[in-house]
Structure 1
Amino acid sequence: MTEQYDAIGARFEESKCTAAFSAADTFSLGRALGDVTGTPVLDLACGYGFNTRLLAERGARPLVGVDVSVEMIRLAQKYEARCPMGIDYVIADVADLPPLGRFDLATAVYLFNYASSRATLRAMFRSIRANLTGHGRLLAIVPRPTPFPEGNYEEFGLRILERVPGAEVPLIRQEFTTDPPTPLEDYEWPLADYELAATQAGFARVRWSPIRTPPPDAVRDETFWRRYRENPVSCLMTATGGDR
């Protein structure tokens, strides 16, 4: 699915900056990070570097962003050239990630839902674990099983179009509700599959947390965010390692 983000390009920025579900993801990740000053961090599926730059602002060092999309990394590097923050960006498939260092923290926002098979899913977690220190931590925003066709996320910035049955996992066809809409596809894994792949990769503990929502404002009041918490796009996965 590399090509879809190469094609989406800058249109992904619009969704990231305007969609309610993205605002909730960013808020949740920020609350979960804690103090990362001086912490070596690996940001996976970094896209155009939105979360990577947030990590840099919070003092993460050294900081490496990884994405499989050439276009996403080009955009991230464009931001880095305009306003240097000491971020290194790497084009790589997380399922076949080379040794990049020994990081205390890895972050991943919508990475594992692009695995088309359990073998690929396991490979992603193994590659991440291999780049973490013994007690390294993984924070991942992952999508919840899709409430389609009974429910949808349209008012939150994501429209589900179709669930296509597959040999191992359904394919979800959807679009960001930008103008015009931005199409994308991913796979609908049960949370139990993510957890199993993480433990098979050597993570000692996996914990799940509900998504958090930002404070209400004039655009999105508490009633709006209450509706979102009742039907969130995602949840937070925290996987921690043990001595190796």
Structure 2
Amino acid sequence: MTQYDEIGARYEKSKTTAAFSAVDTYSLERELGDELRGAALDLACGYGFTTRLLAERGAGPVRGVDVSAAMVRLARQVEQRLGQGIEYVVSDVAAMPVLGVHQLATAVYLFNYAPTRAALRAMFGAIRANLDHRGRLVAIAPNPSPFPEGNWDRFDVTVRARVPAEEVPLLKAAFLLDEPVAFEFYEWRREDLEQAARDGGFGTVDWRPLATPPADDRFSAALWAEYRSAPVSSMMICRP
């Protein structure tokens, strides 16, 4: 059982209400554009939020992969209702088989769940094996946490503890919803991700800051200025 088997539908709320998620979605949509062509693979798909975004923009076939059977079950329930033709697969990305040749892969908060460098390399290798030689991987990965000197509470996620480990620190965190939802992830450095990507078969790795959306009734311009000064995450783009 994974932590998301237990979190289940409560995690879904963070994708539509949390400030950091609003930045993630806006940035991803800008990077992908309005029209996609070719097969797409969404890793750590959860209940299918990004997966459906890919289908809505014209990608096809679209596949979503997640290690959590509970999250995939939620995604399949939505697919039954919407009928977008999305295939959902329960698999650890580190052990994912070749599901097809894809022009695009997305991975929103995947690599921060790799507990070792070997697992991290295996994730990138499995993604590369599923990509066309002209394809690209668009990932969103958390930046190193400012904890304990600072935190990301204003953006609806918080780090509560950093647990040292041999290869990578484990962060104990929570989504700040109406009732906080606890979760854990690993604090990989940017250079660790870059090395794993190259070891996994990617030739180029680029980093981009996330873009904040226009201010609205929920999220003010002042909040987005704060985010830009202490961003939760960054975008990683890898090509063979």
TM-score, shorter chain, exceeding 0.5: yes
- Stretches of structure 1 lacking an aligned partner (at least 5 in a row): none
Question: 2:88 is paired with a residue of what secondary structure?
Answer: strand
CA distance in 1 between counterparts of 2:199 and 2:191 reads: 12
For 1:222, the equivalent position in structure 2 comes to 221
Is 1:64 the counterpart of 2:77? The answer is no
Question: How much is the aligned-residue C-alpha RMSD, in angstroms?
Answer: 0.9
Question: 1:203 is paired with a residue of what secondary structure?
Answer: coil
Offset, 1:35: 5.1
For 2:198, the equivalent position in structure 1 comes to 199
Question: 2:203 is paired with a residue of what secondary structure?
Answer: strand
| CA contact 1:46–1:65 (8 Å) conserved in 2 | yes
* 2:120 partner amino acid: L
| CA contact 2:117–2:167 (8 Å) conserved in 1 | yes
Which sits farther off after the overlay, 218-227 or 23-32? 218-227
CA distance in 2 between counterparts of 1:35 and 1:223 reads: 28
- Stretches of structure 2 lacking an aligned partner (at least 5 in a row): none
Count of aligned residue pairs for this structure pair: 240
Offset, 1:222: 1.1
* 1:135 partner amino acid: R
Question: 1:59 is paired with a residue of what secondary structure?
Answer: coil
For 1:74, the equivalent position in structure 2 comes to 73
- Seen in structure 2, the aligned counterparts of structure 1 residues 114 and 179 have a Cα distance that, compared at 3 Å, is same
State TM-score, norm by structure 1.
0.96
CA distance in 2 between counterparts of 1:198 and 1:238 reads: 10
| CA contact 2:36–2:54 (8 Å) conserved in 1 | no
Per-residue CA deviation, residues 178-201 of structure 1 (Å, 9 max, x unaligned), is 121100001000010000111111
Offset, 1:218: 1.9
> Where in structure 2 are the equivalents of 1:84-163 lying within 5 Å?
84-163=83-162
* 1:13 partner amino acid: E
Offset, 1:12: 0.4
| CA contact 1:38–1:62 (8 Å) conserved in 2 | no
State TM-score, norm by structure 2.
0.98
Q: Quick one: percent identity of the two aligned structures?
A: 56
> Where in structure 2 are the equivalents of 1:13-92 lying within 5 Å?
13-34=12-33, 36-92=35-91
Offset, 1:232: 0.9
Offset, 1:60: 0.7
CA distance in 2 between counterparts of 1:108 and 1:173 reads: 21
CA distance in 1 between counterparts of 2:191 and 2:2 reads: 28
For 1:168, the equivalent position in structure 2 comes to 167
Offset, 1:38: 2.8
| CA contact 2:2–2:67 (8 Å) conserved in 1 | no
Offset, 1:34: 2.9
Which sits farther off after the overlay, 31-40 or 121-130? 31-40
